[in-house]
Amino acid sequence: MIGIKSYGAYLPKYLLPRKLIGKAWDFPVVPGTKAFALADEDSLTMAVEAGLDCLAGFDPKSVDGLYYATTTQVYTEKDSASIISTVLDLRDDIVTADFTDSLKAGSTAVSRAYETIKANDDINSILVLAADQREPEPSTMWEYGFADGAGALLIADEENIPISIEDTYSIAKNIIGPWKRREKDEFIRTFEVKMDAKFYMQSVLTVMNKILEKNNLNPKDIQHAAYYYNNPKMHAGISKRMEFERGVAQNGMFFQIGDTGTPMPMMLLIGALRRPDEDANILMVGYGDGADAILMKVRDRKAVRDLGKTRLGLNGHQKSMEQVKNYNKFIESKELLEKDRYKRKSSAVTIWRDADSVYRNYGLKCQNCGAIQYPVNHKSCYVCQTDGQLEKIKLSYKGEIFTFTLDHLVGGAYLDTPVPRCVVDLEGGGRILVNMTEIENPEKNVEIGMKVELTFRKEHEGADFINYYWKCRPVRGRPNIVGGVE
Amino acid sequence: MVRKGIRDKIAIIGADATKYGELWDYNQYDLLYEAAHGAYDDAGITKDDIDAVWVGIFYYFTGLSGSTVEDILKLGGKPVTRTENYCASGMDAFRNACFAIASGAYDVVMACGVEKLMDEGSSGLPGFKIFGHPVFPTPSAPAMFSMAATRSFKEFGWVKEDLARVAVKNHENGYYHPKAHFRSKVDVDTVMRAPMIADPLGRFDCCAKV
């Protein structure tokens, strides 16, 4: 049976209270907060986080494919799925694809993953990731809505699947809005809002009704409905028109998190999966230039609830989120102000050759003395000096600070100074030098022995490509994936 | 293997140095010329007596080869070797010059070093744009040393005040030395209150750029 074997999510650390936006631009105040990613994050790094959360407890080498959905690609030529699959340490004989350009790309990727597995005997699992970092035009009402985040679903064909996928249904509609031209638009443009709302209602209601009809179900049979929306009124409108019972339509996100775009239906689904009903029928709908509906059924309620306990999902991230104190801090933390920040040099050759350390987080283990070390390009042991006895080993994503400094004399682009340079002893071995992100008042808050976890971030754009690498951050509680040092 | 060593095989017959400082109106020509001629005079020799030269230079804008020395001192085609070994570049020029004498290859050689960091034109130590791995962190020089300090504090119970007393002693030595960069005494309190460069190392714990 094909369905959802695991899930994961990512929400950035910081929330911008909407009243600060209102205050900054003299807008009518809207309640709630929205999640925003820092300058060292993008849709790709957020997808990696959600992927790590989703693969907790699984061997990444057992996954047969990776589909990635976003409207905010980091490259227009060069796919992201291949980068992400390397970072997540998947095999290379897998299927990969990027689904882009429409907000429904997330649900489309899930539908296509379902079909890929259904049609191929040798493809048994596909990790579907969706992430977006949509920049609203400053000083417009879109600032209230657009938010950043990522979702992950591991789709697999197994006898005991916690949630089965029963059916999918899609429609295509050519609607001008929202859109962004490749070169001429800095920000997303939107159609006349009332027309946009009309097409949204039409499309979502069509796919919902059609998939129910196809499966001889009526709205009363649906226990959880996770559908994209960018306006709470529209959301309520769908629920009313469908005559869903109270509590069926998942709406927990907009108030605190905002409109995360492509991953939103997935994230709403993940919210519902914390406390699913027994044998629940679930409807997930993505919208954008048409719509996709995916009908699912809870097969093993206990297994679903166990997933909720072993990964961060939405709730686990929400616990460690913090509100920024003022709008300036928000602007600064996204590096929206022009400043002199010089680029470091880079080399595509070096990055490619060092991929096992730079992306996959591998180190070396000495076969003579057992010492685990980093990075992978060494030939002789740091500890016993033995030559030619080092073998590659996957390192843990968690550790504690062995020593550190707060560097005020930084070269290059950094979010904030001083930059904490941290020597981290990873759990199970390996000592690694990384910068720290998501830390305020480092003078007070960084110390030897502090627990940290690694997070994949954008370092700089030297040599005119995006240079990613690991940083450490104060623990948010992301679980370890299998394959780390025992 | 019997270590032969270099004891009693070499003598320093003359030495000199320029004043250390920002020296805005000097370039590397002024500096090396002054130091070299001071050393010739101290030894009572002329440049014609010198067989070969070793020079310690690290930064590219001062010079990337021994020809920097020939360009400045006009030694007439004598061999010049440049050593580059981070902050130990000058010391290594001296060490290798010693080996050249001890080996019997030469009778008189000169070891020298010159650097004009302020000419690079920006604050901080230059070079982080071009050094190192593309993505591994590139801590500043003080930051690299300070990570050892942070851990030592933890291991041995030292505190920042212990480091401050080193700076107090060094400044006192500088006070008495006519060519020192800083010729003023400082107290522990001043050192402790100075701005941080890379915690726990503050302004008085780090070399000033000259």
Give the pLDDT score at A330.
Answer: 94
- Do B108 and B188 sit in the same domain of this protein? no
Residue B68 lies in a domain: yes
What is the rounded distance in angstroms from the CA atom of residue A353 to the CA atom of residue A275?
45
Same domain, B36 and B99: yes
**Residues A394 and A292 reside in one and the same domain:** no
Task: State whether A14 and A126 are in the same domain.
Answer: yes
Whole-number Å distance between alpha carbons of B157 and B147: 15
Q: What domain count does chain A have? A: 2
Q: Is residue A342 part of a domain?
A: no
B182, B149: one domain: yes
Q: Give which of A239, A302, A294 is closest to A265, Cα–Cα.
A: A294
Dist CA B133 CA A420 (whole Å): 18
In a domain, A311, yes or no: yes
Please indicate, yes or no, whether residues A155 and A269 belong to a single structural domain of this protein. yes
Which range marks the domain in which residue B72 is found?
28-120
Does A453 map to a domain? yes
Same domain (yes/no): B111, B150 = no
Q: In this predicted structure, what is the pLDDT of residue A289?
A: 93
- CA–CA dist A450, A470 (Å, integer): 17
Any domain includes A55: yes
The pTM score is: 0.94
Nearest CA-CA distance, residue A359 and chain B, Å? 11
**A69 within domain boundaries:** yes
Instruction: Specify whether the CB–CB gap between B113 and B89 falls below 8 A.
Output: yes
Burial A310-333 (b: 16+ CB within 10 A, else e): ebbbbebbbeebeebeebeebebb
Instruction: Let me know whether B187 and B149 are in one domain.
Output: yes
Q: Nearest residue on chain B to A460, judged by CA atoms?
A: B135
Does residue B43 lie in a domain region? Answer: yes
Give the pLDDT of residue A412.
59
Q: Is residue A159 part of a domain?
A: yes
Dump pLDDT digits (tens) for B39-58: 999 999 999 999 999 999 98
Q: Which residues pair with A97 in a beta bridge?
A: A67
Same domain, A326 and A372: no
**B152, closest residue in chain A (CA to CA):** A403
Would you call A349 an interface residue with chain B, using a CB distance cutoff of 8 Å?
no
A400 in a structural domain = yes
Same domain flag for A284 and A428: no
Using alpha carbons only, how large is chain B's radius of gyration in Å? 20
A412: nearest CA in chain B? B129
Model confidence at B128, pLDDT cuts 50, 70, 90, reads low
**Domain containing residue A288: CATH number:** 3.40.47.10
Return the bridge partners of A366, or none.
Answer: A390
Quick check: is B15 in a domain? no
Task: Report pLDDT for A411.
Answer: 65
Q: What is the DSSP pairing of strand A163-172 with strand A125-133?
A: unpaired
User: Is pLDDT above 50 for B64?
Assistant: yes
| Euclidean distance between CA atoms A207 and B81, whole angstroms | 78
Residue that finishes a domain, picked among A333, A358, A376: A333
Determine the Cα–Cα distance for residues A314 and A257; give it in Å rounded to an integer: 10
Angle at B194 between CA B191 and CA B198, to 5 degrees: 105
H-run or E-run covering B171: helix B160-176
What is the phi/psi pair of residue B38, to 5°? -60, -40
Shared-domain flag, residues A181 and A51: yes
Does the residue B62 lie in any domain? yes
Distant-in-sequence, close-in-space partners of B117: CB < 8 Å, separation ≥ 6: B59, B125, B126, B209, B210
* Confidence band for B118, pLDDT divided at 50, 70 and 90: confident
In a shared domain, residues A225 and A352: no
B198, A407: Cβ pair inside 8 Å?
yes
Which amino acid is located at A293 in the chain? A
Domain with residue B74: its CATH number is: 3.40.47.10
Strand order in the sheet with A372-373: A372-373, A362-366, A390-394
Report d(CA A155, CA A412) in Å as an integer.
41
Structural domain count, chain B: 2
ipTM: 0.88
Q: Could you tell me if A239 and A281 lie in one domain? A: yes
Q: Has residue B126 been placed in a domain?
A: no
| Judgement on whether residues A363 and A396 belong to the same structural domain of the protein | yes
Q: How far is C-alpha B83 from the geometric centre of its chain's CA atoms? A: 12
Cβ distance A284 to A294 under 8 Å?
Answer: yes
Candidate from B141, B150, B196 with C-beta closest to A408: B196
Same domain for A95 and A45: yes
Say whether both B87 and B146 belong to one domain. no
Query: Is A358 within 8 Å of B124 when comparing Cβ atoms?
Result: no
- Please tell me whether residues B54 and B115 are part of one structural domain: yes
B113 & B172 share domain? no
Last residue of a domain, one of B85, B120, B155: B120
Domain limits for position A431: 348-474
Give the per-residue pLDDT at B126. 66
Q: Write B88-91 long-range contacts (CB < 8 A, 24+).
A: B89/B56, B89/B57, B89/B58, B89/B113, B90/B56, B91/B56
* Token representation of residue A257: 């998190």
Residues B145 and B116 occupy one common structural domain: no
B111 and B34 co-located in one domain: yes
Interface check A445 vs B, CB under 8 A: no
End-of-domain residue from the set B87, B120, B153: B120
Do B152 and B116 sit in the same domain of this protein? no
Residue A446 sits in the same domain as residue A418: yes
Q: Are residues A325 and A360 in the same domain?
A: no
Average pLDDT per run of 10 along chain A, which is 486 residues long?
98 97 94 96 98 96 98 96 98 97 97 98 98 94 95 97 98 89 90 86 98 97 96 94 95 91 97 94 97 98 95 96 95 84 86 96 97 95 97 96 92 74 96 96 96 96 95 95 56
Q: Residue A58: count other Cβ atoms within 10 Å of its Cβ.
A: 18
B21 within domain boundaries: no
Residue A486 has a pLDDT of: 40
- For residue A352, give the chain B residue with the closest CA: B134
Question: Between A347, A405, A412, which is nearest B146 by CB?
Answer: A405
